[in-house]
Amino acid sequence: MKIYNNPTRKEWPALLQRPAKDLTSLRAPVSDIMASVKEKGDEALRDFTARFDGITLENIQVDAGTITAAAEELTPELRAAIQTAKSNIERFHLTQRTKVTEIETMPGVTCWRETRGIDKVGLYIPGGTAPLFSTVLMLAVPAAIAGCEEVVLCSPPNRETGEIHPAVLYAASLCGVTKVFRLGGAQAIAAMAYGTESVPAVYKLFGPGNAYVTVAKQLAQLDGLAIDMPAGPSEVLVGADAGAKSAHVAADLLAQAEHGPDSQVVLVVATEEQAKEVKAEVERQLADLPRKALAAQSIANSLILVLPAPQDQLDYINAYAPEHLILSMAEARAFAAGISNAGSVFLGYHTPESVGDYASGTNHTLPTYGYARNYSGVSLDSFVTKITFQELTAAGLRAIGPAVETMAVAEELQAHANAVTLRLNDL
């Protein structure tokens, strides 16, 4: 990690950049995969799975018995941990339900808004270097609360067994997801986007993935499918004061770095002495990590900023707009009052980002790559549509009608005016 000692604001733009990853070269091959799945359906899915995953699929869908049996393949401790996480995520997302409030905007004119669960949603759960069963909870729990009628889940098969990791299946079963498919990569996104003989088409796609999955979601969006949010590699920014323990700060940085080589971690502190202490601790802890090769590549793309002025720290953080923001500070809440751009914030010395990744209750599917400036993380709102209603009485139409007639005529939309005038005449 390179240390930048009190850089000027003119130097900030370069220090706000994420590791660049050009995805344009993937558009053509991903587009070919998606077109093939759209045309050939299950046949294409089997071909791509054999080519990319080294597995010959007999059954694309996981049967109910396999899903049920997955629980027995997990330790009691892991099952209990997943249940705890599910309970907390459910509790937090239930608070996001909105009450229907009818408002009379003028006498006899009543308006309100109601939510409806999106009928069909697709969840992509990466396998890759680690099975992200926690993401199943983060997506399937709010989908269930929202009342989505059909939830489709795709996750890549294991190269050795051809099966999905039992923890993914167990989490799915806890959340009531029964349509689970042994599919990964761009072909899984295509299957959910267009539908095949086995996989139902959905209306909105959720979930992280590698560069191929990211491009596939972008292309699906161009075809009219909704997605959760734009996504880049995962990231964390830690703001630490003098009271933060270097070992804790280093562990937080490495917890993000071990996601993958393109993850970025940033540390903001007030003194160069603290910067050097944390850097040394990062190097010490990194040596003992099982995923140190991946984490080391991430750390090489990461940086430490020494910014003595609290206002400079705040302004830099808002400009960076981190996916995860850890404020390891004595007065974390006071500092956080000035935060306007972040995906999820972790306050104080005892709140590592890991708790949000797994079990605190907040959602870990968050905007990356600076998208926190204009996107929120996944929530209950992500799984619903909001429909407005209005109802007028005769008195209400009399009251509002003349204004509507006047505006419609001014816009030269006579039929709009007529729809009101004819009713008023009948009254």
pLDDT in tens, 251-262: 999 999 998 888
Say whether 411 counts as a known binding-site residue. Answer: yes
**Residue 323 annotated in active site:** yes
Q: What letter would DSSP give residue 243?
A: T
3-state helix, strand, coil in the chain (%, to 5): 50, 15, 35
The reported pLDDT for the residue numbered 98 is 93
User: Across residues 227-249, what is the average pLDDT?
Assistant: 94
185-207 confidence digits (pLDDT tens)? 999 999 999 999 999 999 999 99
* pLDDT classification of 231: cutoffs 50, 70, 90: confident
Write the CB contacts of 99 (distance below 8 Å, at least 6 apart in sequence).
none
Closest CA to 374 of 341, 344, 410: 341
Is the pLDDT score of 77 beyond 90?
A: yes
Say whether 259 counts as a known binding-site residue. Answer: yes
Q: Which of 324, 353, 364, 405 is catalytic?
A: 324
Write the CB contacts of 398 (distance below 8 Å, at least 6 apart in sequence).
108, 424, 427
Q: Where are the domains of the chain?
A: 24-227, 232-376, 393-426
Q: Which of 150, 235, 281, 323 is catalytic?
A: 323
The reported pLDDT for the residue numbered 20 is 67
The Cα angle at residue 329 between residues 325 and 333, in degrees rounded to 5: 75
338-358 confidence digits (pLDDT tens)? 999 999 999 999 999 999 999
The reported pLDDT for the residue numbered 261 is 86
Say whether 210 counts as a known binding-site residue. Answer: yes
> Class of 24-227 per CATH?
alpha beta
Which two three-digit tokens encode residue 285?
Answer: 């802890």
pTM of the model: 0.94
Candidate CATH numbers 3.40.50.1980, 3.40.50.1000, 3.40.50.300, 3.40.190.80; the one for domain 232-376: 3.40.50.1980
Say whether 119 counts as a known binding-site residue. Answer: no
**Residue 391 annotated in active site:** no
Least confident of 14-28, 97-111, 291-305, 358-372: 14-28
34-49 confidence digits (pLDDT tens)? 999 999 999 999 999 9
